[in-house]
Structures are given as C-alpha cells and as structure tokens.
C-alpha cells in the first residue's frame, strides 16, 4: 500500500494543493508530545505563530539537517510547504523515511529552491549531447591537437578532445538517444586514428601518442548500423592493426618477463599489461609527476614516469590496483601488473576479429584468432581467476602472485562473456558482499585519496557490472546496482543541475580525489544513464 505522503504528492500533481491537503489532513493522527514541534506565539500576534522551520518541523527538520539531505543547510530552512505543515508532520512521523526516501518525501511535500524545477534526467541528457559535439577543424600550427575528419563528442569540463574508452560509454547513450550518425562518425575517427598512428591514443593530443586506453574498439563496432562491406573490411583491418599494437611485444619477450605491453606468464603463455612508449613526465601533469618521482627516490625517475603513464593508459589514474603501498602514489608499479579488465578486453577483441573474419570468408584468420582467444582464456583461468576468493584478480608478475586488491574490474569477464556460469555466480556473490554500496558499485574497497578508489563510483564500471551480471543470469543484482546508481546521479543532478564525471557513492554527492577537481558534462555518465533507463525504464520514476 502506498504511504499517505506519496498519495498526497500524486494528488498534488494531478488535482492541486487543496485536494492534496484535504486527503492528507483526513489521515493526520495526533502527534506525540515528544515529537511535536515547540511553537512560541509572539505577543500581540492575532493570526499565526511566528516560528522558525526548526520549531515548526521538529523531528523532520532535525533528520533533514543532520542527514545533510541538502548540501546547503539553508536550502531546507527556506523550503515552502506544499500543504498543511501539520499534515506533513503527521505523515512523516507515521513512516519516518530515511536516506534517499527522506529526500523524496521532502521534495514531494515542499517546494525547494533549485530542486523541484529541474527537468527529467533523460530529457536533460538529450539536451546535453549537442553541447558536447565538436566539429572537425584544421589544427593550428604548433597546437597539440590531433586532427579528426568527422564530428565527435567530448567528455566535457577540462576534457575538450576525444578520449578512447570514454567514447564507448558515451556512444551507448548516443545510439539510444537518436544520435546514430554521431556513433558512425566517431567510429570513422577511431578507424582513421588506427590507420594514421597504428593505434587509438589515450586522447587526441600529441602528448597522448605514447599510450592507448582500455581497448573498446571491438565493442564499439557492435554499436554500428553501417552494413557497407567496404566499411566493414576497413574496420576489420583496423581492428587487426589494433591487436598487433597491443601484441607487438610478443616478438621481444623471449628471455624476459615482459616487453612493451606483453607479459610472459610462468607457463610461457602470453597476457597483456598497460605500458607507455615514453618514460618522461606527462605533459598534462608534468609538475605532479616530477614531485611523485622525487618522493619515490632512490627509484629511477624514468621507471616512475613509465608507471605513471601506464596507469594513465589503464584509465584508472590512479588506483590502489597499481600501488605497492595503497596510500603512496610514489610506490606505483603499473607495469608489473597483469590486469583482469585489459585481458578480458583483449579476449573480446580476439573473439571479435575471429567472428568478423569468418563473416568475411577468411577462414585462416578466423581460426588463428579463435585459437588466440582460447589460449588467453586458459591463461586467465589459471592465473587471474581466484576460486578460493570468488573473484578475478590482477596478477603481480614481480611477486608472481595475484594482488590483494578487490575491485570492480572483477566483473569485466562477465561483461565480455568470458566467465563460466560458476565463475559468474561466485563474482556476483562477492559483488553483493563487498562491492555494493548505498549509491552504486564501489571501485575498490580501499580509501586512499586516489580517485579510482573508495568512495568514488564511476559510470563505466557501473555499466560493466550491470550488463555483466544481467547477461549471466543475475538480473536482480544488476537492477539493484542500476537503481542505486541512478539514485546517486539523480540526487546530484537535483542538487547541482549537472551530470558529473564521478560520484561519492557512500554519500551520493560529487566525487573527489585525484589530480583535478570533479568535472561536469559528462559524456560517459550521460551515456550510461541513458543505457540504464532504457534497460530499466521503471527507474525513471522509481526512487
């Protein structure tokens, strides 16, 4: 049965405040003395008592303010009741909602400055896309920008160029929000980048050319609606070139543990790591990198720079996943780590090449890449799957053992279809037990001050988890993560009117940490929100 306050809210929107007041007032019960607001009537006042909100709303006011339902304490103090305050208080005391339900109650019963007048989340996202679109332009002499040939979408904020793995999650929303031409034009840009420089760089700046990002190009191609065989052939050639870029180190790994982005595991099988072709401070974070290298002495500065750059290639810049000591960025050793998410994506790339070669009638290619994917899965199951811990882990090749960090990356094998049913069940249980937070999926369970650690949550990791769990038969958990995450995004949108790069999923507020302030815009948050609301449309109105 719906609570009285919700019925009253519905009546307000359909029949006006008088009808809502009438419905709620009829059910108002006497308020216990200990919860009744204390009201002092001013001398000489012939009409209404002149009381403050704290006195008028008593226990409700205290719950809202102590729970920091609104970032600014003045927000609720200035709120205007939509109906009789006594009826509001009676409904509050009858149900005493907390957390997100408390905020829903307040917004249903009060007009709150900056809160009630925002449009729907999905409509807001649709209006944002044109603001994030950029047209190809000639690059001025001396600029660090890389020229592109077709329109594209940027993340927003300080990120005003195209980024690799961001774009896959942005494209999810573009496809669903009637922007398919932008999906195709972004694929044109990525295909052209592979043809020009041999890989898709971290972003379209010259200082990003030494590295890539998590390789989602194969999965991007699945979002295309272009059926032209000439385009398909060109894209397949580009996909094979990307695989060659990531596996280039296979030719020099003999006699050593790793070369470039390739790692030789103890049994001789080959997996991948993150790397960067350069070992200097990052142009975009030069001062920060120099300071980190100084703190890391006596380690060679070049080694520290390489590991920082490799951390940037991972997209998780930075995280305890890459740190020998979780609280110290100076202990970063990304190039020692064999990551589960990267190798899951490499497996998906090999499967994608095999399937596309088969469709093109190139059977030798199809067999070759099918065999590579089988070998990779065997190595992942042997070294990265930890059955006793019910998780997929990263592997520390220097220590020759899995790392202790449990992270959202454990869900990537479910997302790409690599995990067995038994592995998926175990990971789902770990997710439920360890990674599920009030406002979505935790990135890691360690709070280090780095932005890819607790308490931050990130849109791409939510979608990987939601789709991975849903595909493997754990839809209840998938929907629960989706509900929690959309609640977080909606709450922050209600507060700020913005879509943000990252969120604190413990408090459902803007995220923090890292090398720069939280950014708004925001491409992948928009894309994932649209994808979630398309998959679970009831979440558009559910609280």
* Separation of alpha carbons 406 and 323, rounded Å: 13
pTM, two decimals, is 0.81
- DSSP conformation letters of 349-416: HHHHHHHHHHHTT-HHHHHHHHHHHHHHHHHIIIIIEEGGGTEE--EETTTTEE-S--BGGGGHHHHH
- DSSP conformation letters of 147-184: P-SS-EE--BTTB-S-BHHHHHHHHHHHHHTT-HHHHH
With contact defined as beta carbons under 8 Å apart, do 321 and 461 qualify?
no
Residue whose tokens read 């925002």: 118
Q: What is the pLDDT of residue 524?
A: 97
Q: Is residue 362 flagged as an active site residue?
A: no
* Marked catalytic residue, from 91, 276, 501, 520: 501
Q: Is the dihedral of CA 258, 259, 264, 265 positive or negative?
A: positive
The Cβ of residue 368 has, within 10 Å, a number of other Cβ atoms equal to 15
3-class DSSP assignment, residue 259: strand
- DSSP conformation letters of 299-320: S-HHHHHHHHHHHHHTS--S-G
- Strand-pair category, 395-396 with 385-386: unpaired
* Separation of alpha carbons 530 and 456, rounded Å: 20
Per-domain residue ranges of the chain: 4-111, 142-251, 255-403, 406-543
- Tens-level pLDDT at each residue, the chain (543 residues): 334 444 444 433 333 333 333 333 333 445 554 554 444 444 444 445 556 888 889 999 999 999 988 888 888 888 889 889 999 999 999 999 998 789 878 887 888 876 655 568 899 999 999 999 999 999 999 999 999 999 999 999 889 999 999 999 999 999 999 999 999 999 999 999 999 999 999 999 999 999 999 999 999 999 999 999 999 999 999 999 999 999 999 999 998 999 999 999 999 999 999 999 999 999 999 999 999 999 999 999 999 999 999 999 999 999 999 999 999 999 999 999 999 999 999 999 999 999 999 999 999 999 999 999 999 999 999 999 999 999 999 999 999 999 999 999 999 999 999 999 999 999 999 999 999 999 999 999 999 999 999 999 999 999 999 999 999 999 999 999 999 999 999 988 988 889 999 999 999 989 988 887 888 889 999 999 999 999 999 998 765
Q: What's the distance, CA 395 to chain centroid?
A: 23
336: CB partners within 8 A, 6+ apart: 273, 396, 397, 398, 399
Assigned token pair, 388: 């006793």
* Marked catalytic residue, from 317, 336, 350, 520: 317
What 8-state DSSP symbol labels residue 44? T
The Cβ of residue 524 has, within 10 Å, a number of other Cβ atoms equal to 28
Q: Is residue 501 flagged as an active site residue?
A: yes
404: CB partners within 8 A, 6+ apart: none
Q: What is the pLDDT of residue 38?
A: 46
Helix H or strand E encompassing 80 = strand 80-81
Assigned token pair, 325: 């000591």
Assigned token pair, 275: 């790397």
Q: What is the pLDDT of residue 35?
A: 54
Q: What is the pLDDT of residue 13?
A: 38
Q: What is the pLDDT of residue 496?
A: 85
315: CB partners within 8 A, 6+ apart: 165, 213, 214, 460
Geometric angle at alpha carbon 109, from 103 and 114, rounded to 5°: 65
Q: What is the pLDDT of residue 40?
A: 44
Q: What's the distance, CA 381 to chain centroid?
A: 26
């Amino acid at each position: 049965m719906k609570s009285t306050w919700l019925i009253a809210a519905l009546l307000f929107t359909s029949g006006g405040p008088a009808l809502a007041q009438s419905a709620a007032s009829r059910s108002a019960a006497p308020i216990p003395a200990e919860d009744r607001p204390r009201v002092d009537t001013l001398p000489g006042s012939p009409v209404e008592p002149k009381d403050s909100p704290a006195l008028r709303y008593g226990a409700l006011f205290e719950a809202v303010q102590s729970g920091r339902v609104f970032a600014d304490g003045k927000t609720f103090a200035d709120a205007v009741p939509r109906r009789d305050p006594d009826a509001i208080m009676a409904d509050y005391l009858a149900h005493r909602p907390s957390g997100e339900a408390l905020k829903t109650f307040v917004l249903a019963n009060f007009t709150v400055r900056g809160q009630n007048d925002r449009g729907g989340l999905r409509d807001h996202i649709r209006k944002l896309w044109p603001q994030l679109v950029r047209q190809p332009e000639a690059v001025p002499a001396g600029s660090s920008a890389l020229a592109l040939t077709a329109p594209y979408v940027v993340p927003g904020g300080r990120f005003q160029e195209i980024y690799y793995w961001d774009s896959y999650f942005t494209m999810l929303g573009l496809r669903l929000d009637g922007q398919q031409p932008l999906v195709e034009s972004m694929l044109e840009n990525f295909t052209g980048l592979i043809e020009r420089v041999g890989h898709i760089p971290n972003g379209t700046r010259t200082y990003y050319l030494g590295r890539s990002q998590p390789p989602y190009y194969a999965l991007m191609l699945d979002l295309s609606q272009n059926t032209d065989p000439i385009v398909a052939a060109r894209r397949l050639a580009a996909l094979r070139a990307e695989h060659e870029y990531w596996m280039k180190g296979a030719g020099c790994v003999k006699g050593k543990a790793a070369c470039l982005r390739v790692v030789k595991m103890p049994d001789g099988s080959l997996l991948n790591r993150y790397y960067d072709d350069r070992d200097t401070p990052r142009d975009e974070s030069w001062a920060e990198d120099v300071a980190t290298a100084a703190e890391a002495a006596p380690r060679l500065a070049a080694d520290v720079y390489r590991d920082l750059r490799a951390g940037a290639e991972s997209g998780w810049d930075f995280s305890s996943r890459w740190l020998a000591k979780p609280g110290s960025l100076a202990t970063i050793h990304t190039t020692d780590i064999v990551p589960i998410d990267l190798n899951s994506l490499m497996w998906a790339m090999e499967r994608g090449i095999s399937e596309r070669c088969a469709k093109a009638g190139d059977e030798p290619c199809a067999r070759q890449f099918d065999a590579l994917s089988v070998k990779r899965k065997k190595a992942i199951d042997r070294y990265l799957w930890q059955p006793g811990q019910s998780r997929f882990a990263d592997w520390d090749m220097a220590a020759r053992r899995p790392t202790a960090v449990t992270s959202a990356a454990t869900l990537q094998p479910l997302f790409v279809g690599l995990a067995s049913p038994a592995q998926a069940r175990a990971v789902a249980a770990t997710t439920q037990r360890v990674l599920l937070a009030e406002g979505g999926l935790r990135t890691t369970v360690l709070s280090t001050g780095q932005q890819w650690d607790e308490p931050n949550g990130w849109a791409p990791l939510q979608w990987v988890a939601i789709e991975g769990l849903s595909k493997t038969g754990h839809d209840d958990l998938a929907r629960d993560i989706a509900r929690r995450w959309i609640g977080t995004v909606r709450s922050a949108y209600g507060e700020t009117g913005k879509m943000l790069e990252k969120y604190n999923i413990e408090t459902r507020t803007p995220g923090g940490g890292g090398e720069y302030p939280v950014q708004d815009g925001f491409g992948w948050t928009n894309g994932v929100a649209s994808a979630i609301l398309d998959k679970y449309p009831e979440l558009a109105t559910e609280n």
